[in-house]
Every structure is written in C-alpha cells, then in structure tokens.
Structure 1
Amino acid sequence: MAASGMAVSDECKLKFLELKAKRNHRYIIFKIEIQQVVVEKVGTKEETYDDFAASLPADECRYAVFDFDFTTVENCQKSKIFFIAWSPDTSKVRMKMVYASSKDRFKRELDGTQVELQATDPSEISLDIIKSRAL
C-alpha cells in the first residue's frame, strides 16, 4: 500500500510478468480506478509502437510499459522494457497529482523495467526518442 493509499491489482503484476518473461505482449496500459491501479489494455505482440501511442488518452494520465525491440550498431537483436508515465498537460490537476504521487510505488511493483520516460505530450515519447533512449 502506497503512502497515497494506492493498491496494485494482481492482474497488473501478472500481465507484466508475462510481458517480461514470455514476451507475449507488446505493451500494457494501466490506469488508476478507485484507489487501485488496474490493467486498461494489453497490446498483442503484433501491435506496433504507433498502436501503443494511439492507445494513450489525450487528456487522461496513464502508466504504461512497452517492450521495445531494436538492433544495436553491432547488429545484435535486443529488447528493453520502457516504463512510461503519461501525464498530458490537458489532464486534470488532481489526476496528475494522484499519478505522480503513486508512480514510484507502482514502478517498484514492476521489477524489470529498464528505461523510464515521463511525457506530457506525444512528442516526448516519439519513436525517435524511444530509439535514442534504448541504445
């Protein structure tokens, strides 16, 4: 239980473990609902980064994890799991505060994220930024 009183549903941890260990999801979007973080959407392995970005609401905060596959300059296939705190400028102040105060506690529940990004508009999580942070 976080200082903000936020619980994390077991489904959040289960889906994240599936993404991390089995790599059977491309992304997971989480939302806070009635003092608990729950899974809002799970992206299939076939979905792209554009599908993920389109799934983030324009005016509401969310947490998300994205499994990014890439090729290094040495031509090695790699993958990194991004934790994204989505807090658009147009979302309500109270919502931003709740998500901000619960973020660290929630992120600790998802052991294995490798890169953290905070974004207030789509340009801050563009594919170019994701690629540059992955390398």
Structure 2
Amino acid sequence: MERSKTVVRTQRKQGELQAFVLLYIKMAMSGVGLGDSVVTTYDTKLKTKHLLDALVLKINKEEKRQIVTEQEFECGTLPFEELKKFLPPKEPRYVLYDYNYTTENGQKHSKIILVSWSPDEAPMKEKMIYASSKDAVKKKLQAIKIEVQASELGDLDEADIEAKLKKV
C-alpha cells in the first residue's frame, strides 16, 4: 500500500514538472515585444540626453504582447533608494535606471542599469512571462551596462551595484 502511494506521488510530481516545462516553453515563445514608444523614450531621454533618472516598464495586461512605460522619472527626482517605493510588492517590473556613481579616484560616471524586479509574491505565470521577455528589452535597448535581478528590496544594494559597474 505504501509503495503505491509513493508511485502516485511520483507520477503527480512528474505531471507537475511536465506542466511547468510546457508553461516555460510557452512563455519563452510568448512573443512579448517592446513598444516603440519605450524605445523612443529610452533613446532620446535616457540614453543620449540623460533627461530621466528612470523608466519603469510593465507588460500591458490588456494585450500581454507589449512592454510599455508605466512611469518616467525626470533627472534629479529619483535617488536609487527611493526607487524601491515604486516597485509593486506582488507584480514584476523592469526598471531602466541611469545610475550615477563616483570611482575611487573621484571620477563621476553615469551608467544605465536594468533592474528585473520579480517579487516572490508575484504569480508564477507573470514571473515566467517577465523572465522570458527580458531578452527583448536587452536586445532592443543598447547601452545597458549591467542587469540586477531582484526578488526582494534587499537585493537592490547600491554597494553591490557599484562593484559590478566598476568591473565593466
């Protein structure tokens, strides 16, 4: 009797794993793209002219096929620590942030980073859609120096980010 319960549990786990793999494959081929307005805003306001501190992006829930701008933050209005207040606790987001830092020899630098926000409380399906769509963001938007994966606010540590930036 105990052996048959083990077999049933094993079969159930295999079934769940197969369903997870199929969902992952489906999400990887989801076809979510980056909206043209995001590319234009990024190229003209963030990358070249540095008129923005950050762009917060989300996948449009109505269409689920396009990444759109949720919020823009003008230059000088959003210190990195303040960014955490704008990350929803139960929904993934992408953030393009113009990170300013000073090197050990006093030189000031500005580099664009991509924050992939995927909180633990977010639904698995949404997290997978965002994970599989991240390459679309990285391919279309040039000049992203590093990527920071964060599932909790503590993952957004400025010392770690600066250490990564100094290596590139």
- Is residue 48 of structure 2 the alignment partner of residue 21 of structure 1? yes
Distance 1:99 1:59 in 2: 13
Which of 16, 38, 42 aligns to 2:68? It is 38
- Is residue 163 of structure 2 the alignment partner of residue 132 of structure 1? yes
- Is residue 92 of structure 2 the alignment partner of residue 61 of structure 1? yes
Normalised by the length of structure 2, the TM-score is: 0.75
Q: Is the 8 A contact 1:43 1:52 kept in 2?
A: no
More strand by share: 1
Unaligned runs of 5+ in 2: 1-27
- Is residue 34 of structure 2 the alignment partner of residue 4 of structure 1? no
Shift of 1:133: 2.1
1:48-127 pair list within 5 angstroms: 48-127=79-158
Q: Is the 8 A contact 1:63 1:86 kept in 2?
A: yes
Specify the code of the residue in structure 2 equivalent to 1:39. Answer: T
Shift of 1:3: 3.2
SS at match of 1:31: strand
Number of residue equivalences: 134
Larger Rg: 2
Specify the code of the residue in structure 2 equivalent to 1:43. Answer: F
Q: Is the 8 A contact 2:33 2:136 kept in 1?
A: no
Distance 1:76 1:62 in 2: 31
